[in-house]
Amino acid sequence: MAVRINPSILAADFVNMQRDLHAISTADFVHVDVMDNHFVPNLTFGPQMVERIQAVSPIPLDVHLMIEDVDRWAPPYADLGCFSVTFHAEATLEPVKLARELRKLGARAGIALKPGTAVDDYLEILEEFDQVLVMTVEPGFGGQKFISAVMPKLSALARARNSTGADVWLQVDGGVTAETIAIAAESGADTFVAGSSVFNADSIPSAIETLRETARAHQHDNL
Ligand code: DX5
Ligand code: ZN
């Protein structure tokens, strides 16, 4: 099984963004947290900043939209050419329609679930998405503690993926460290977002490598 490590630039130095993007060049994707101060109580970047990040980043962009009104605002990120665009299930009434639109625009379509959002409705329509993001903290801020109580959602997704053969990546985001990544990998995740544990490390490349090796060591097929 594959392992993807996506450092979150929410933990980068915003005035040294280009430097920090180069510092994570051994990772698979750069995770870009877009927040609008409405869906979550925090504000980060909009499309102009994301366009510049994309222009200078050595690795492709995994955009996580923590914004309202995604039916209107998600497609422009796909138009920019971002590799993947993930919107929150709680922010749209028509997730399948939006996912199809994002795919049509050439992006991978992701759907994100807050810790309190049930996964059941999505298990039967997994093939509509390229990625499901299971939040392991309440969205809004970096540096929070990993909520292991959401792991059953991940195992349910992993089982549904195995039984349907859907080609969907299972992502975790929030509180991912060299310790908690083991639990997430055991539960079926293959794509791991890590902000503070990467950017606060003494060596960013070693932190990325340790996360990758630990996840690999804990992945298994019996879910
Ligand atoms: C939280 C964001 C995360 C955040 C993770 O709302 O979606 O991507 O950057 O940060 P850490 O890894 O510090 O929990
Ligand atoms: Zn995120």
Give me the numbers of helices (H) and strands (E) for the chain, helices first please.
Answer: 10, 8
For the annotated catalytic residues, the residue numbers are 33, 173
Name the nearest CA neighbour of 201 among 4, 11, 60: 11
The whole-number pLDDT of residue 221 equals 80
- pLDDT tens column, 188-202: 999 999 999 999 999
The whole-number pLDDT of residue 1 equals 81
4-217: CATH number = 3.20.20.70
Q: Is the CB of residue 172 less than 8 Å from the CB of residue 154?
A: yes
Percent of the chain with pLDDT over 70: 100
pLDDT at 223 over 90: no
* φ/ψ (deg, to 5) at 135: -70, 130
- pLDDT tens column, 122-152: 999 999 999 999 999 999 999 999 999 999 9
The whole-number pLDDT of residue 187 equals 97
- Total-model pTM: 0.98
pLDDT at 217 over 90: yes
The residues facing 73 across adjacent strands are none
The DSSP call for residue 9 is G
Contact residues of ligand 1, CB 6 A cut-off: 8, 10-11, 31, 33, 64, 66, 137, 139-144, 173-176, 193-197
| Ligand 1: nearest atom to the Cα of 40 | 6
Ligand 2 centre to CA of 206 (Å) is 21
pLDDT at 36 over 80: yes
| Ligand 1: nearest atom to the Cα of 138 | 6
